């Protein structure tokens, strides 16, 4: 009897092994097809070429942003998706106006031009510009120590660089971006006349980098103009201040905050064949800053996300669950699109089991960050061998993305694509963020990597918690 039981047990183990192996081989083939289709028949590069070169920078509330909305909607319709629609969302409208101008004055009539750009959300300078002495700091704590007596009437120059020793450049960015975003709020507290911020960039170059800033609840009449200065000219300004702290800085900018305007998120869907009420989302943000064409940030994420759905179709995959692509509006200076999408999803009771965002540039993909529990992370890690042939190795717990963040519940999984980050901040929020800096193959590898993960999530689902 024991022999018979052992024989049946062994037969079960063999069947189970063969079944698992068979599934793995099927997944290997499907993923191989996905990568092949992306690298030989991808659409992401062609789409990005049009978005970047024919439309260009897409600041929220601008004509170009609306052109991008209409064009991406039409492209999704051409893909033959089951549903394509626009989701209305009110967004802020900030305009840069005429190009900024700035110089360092060492003596009357003796000036050195420097490159700046207004920070998004800043007010303009007076019509004649602003000229004042400077005070250089590297932290808000330094401001506090100096006090109002030494800061009153001066331009605060925030000059804390990104930490070049950090391999993950996003951590370096996170370590100094508060001086850009909150710098004006703290400077106003001590009576400053204006703010100049070192660009968020590891490279030493003459391209200033914009980005959003806030005044918090400070009344309009008490606000001061804020601009970024290129890293090269930040170093120049700092060295000149060390030689003579009486030098003056002049800048003129012409930006203006307008009334909110109507815009849209762009949404396309392949309806699931077995579980249509379980949603898998892939997305990026359609808006960009205005001084480049927004190819890396985040045109790449948008076209990669669109191509995920197309690659599923051309690879002959019929999703079990509903797969949505969402191109969010207004990530850069408000997150209105992401918040609106989540608000509507929760209002309708939609079950988003998984969401993946691409918003870290079009460079070679390395893997993903995941915001999830241990059981789901363990399942995802069991798929690592399937990604090994494509040099995808980074599977870590961490953040996901700003636009999908509002969708987070205790029961779903969020993820962010992680490309190689070493060159990203050379382009981020600057005039260098252009289509010429995009490598076709790297972009297409990113689209394929996203599609492979979506395929696996769709096929196997997520490990569900019991809702109490």
The span from the CA of 45 to the CA of 303, in Å, is: 8
How far apart are the C-alpha atoms of 227 and 255, rounded to whole Å?
11
Among the listed residues 389, 392, 390, the one whose alpha carbon sits nearest the alpha carbon of residue 380? 392
- 172: Cα separation from own chain's centroid: 15
Per the CB < 8 A criterion, the answer to whether 312 and 323 are in contact is yes
Give CA–CA dist 203/427, Å, rounded: 10
Residue 331 annotated in active site: yes
Cα angle at 191 between 188 and 195, to 5 degrees? 55
Cis omega (within 30 of 0) for bond into 298:
yes
| Residue 286: strand, helix, or coil | coil
Catalytic residue, from 331, 332, 431, 444: name it: 331
Q: Are 42 and 447 in contact (CB under 8 A)?
A: yes
User: What b/e readout covers 234-253, taking b as 16+ CB neighbours within 10 angstroms?
Assistant: bebbbebbeeeeebbbbbbb
CA 381/CA 65 separation, integer angstroms = 38
Residues classed as catalytic: 331
């Amino acid at each position: 009897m024991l022999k018979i039981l052992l024989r049946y047990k062994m037969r079960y183990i063999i069947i189970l092994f063969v079944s698992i192996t068979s599934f793995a081989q099927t997944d290997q083939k499907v993923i191989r097809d996905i990568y092949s289709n992306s690298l030989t028949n991808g659409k992401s590069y062609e789409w990005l070429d049009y978005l970047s070169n024919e439309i260009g920078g897409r600041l929220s509330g601008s004509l170009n942003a609306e052109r991008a909305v209409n064009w991406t909607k039409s492209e999704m319709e051409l893909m033959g998706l089951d549903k394509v629609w626009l989701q209305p969302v009110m967004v802020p409208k900030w305009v840069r106006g005429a190009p900024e101008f700035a110089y360092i004055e060492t003596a009357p009539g003796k000036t050195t031009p420097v490159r700046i750009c207004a920070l998004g959300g800043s007010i303009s300078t007076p019509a004649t510009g602003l000229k004042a002495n400077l005070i250089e700091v590297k932290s808000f704590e330094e401001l506090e120590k100096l006090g109002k007596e030494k800061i009153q009437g001066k331009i605060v120059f925030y000059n804390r660089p990104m930490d070049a020793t950090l391999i993950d450049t996003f951590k370096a960015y996170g370590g100094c971006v508060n001086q850009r975003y909150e710098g004006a709020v703290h400077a106003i507290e001590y009576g400053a006349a204006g703010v100049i911020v070192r660009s968020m960039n590891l490279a030493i170059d003459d391209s200033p980098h914009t980005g959003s800033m806030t005044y918090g609840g400070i009344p309009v009449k008490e606000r001061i103009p804020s601009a970024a200065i290129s890293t090269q000219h930040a170093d120049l300004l700092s060295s000149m201040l060390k030689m003579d702290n009486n030098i003056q800085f002049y800048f003129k900018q012409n930006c203006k905050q307008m009334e909110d305007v109507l815009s849209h998120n762009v949404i396309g869907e392949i309806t699931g064949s077995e579980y249509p009420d379980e949603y898998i989302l892939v997305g990026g943000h359609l808006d960009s800053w205005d001084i480049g064409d927004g190819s890396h940030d985040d045109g790449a994420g948008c076209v990669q996300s669109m191509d995920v759905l197309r690659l599923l179709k051309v690879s002959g995959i019929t999703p079990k669950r509903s797969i949505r692509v969402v191109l969010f509006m207004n990530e850069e200076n408000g997150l209105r699109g992401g918040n609106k999408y989540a608000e509507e999803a929760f209002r309708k009771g939609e079950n988003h089991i998984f969401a993946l965002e691409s918003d870290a540039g079009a460079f070679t993909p390395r893997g993903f960050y995941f915001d999830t529990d241990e059981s789901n992370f363990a399942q995802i890690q069991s798929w690592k061998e399937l990604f090994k042939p494509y040099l995808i190795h980074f599977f870590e717990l961490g953040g996901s993305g700003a636009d999908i963040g509002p969708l987070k519940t205790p029961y779903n999984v969020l993820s962010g694509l992680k490309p190689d980050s070493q060159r990203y901040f050379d382009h981020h929020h600057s005039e260098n963020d252009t289509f010429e800096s995009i490598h076709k193959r790297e972009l297409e590898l990113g689209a394929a990597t996203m599609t492979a993960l979506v395929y696996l999530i769709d096929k196997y689902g997520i490990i569900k918690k019991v809702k109490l």
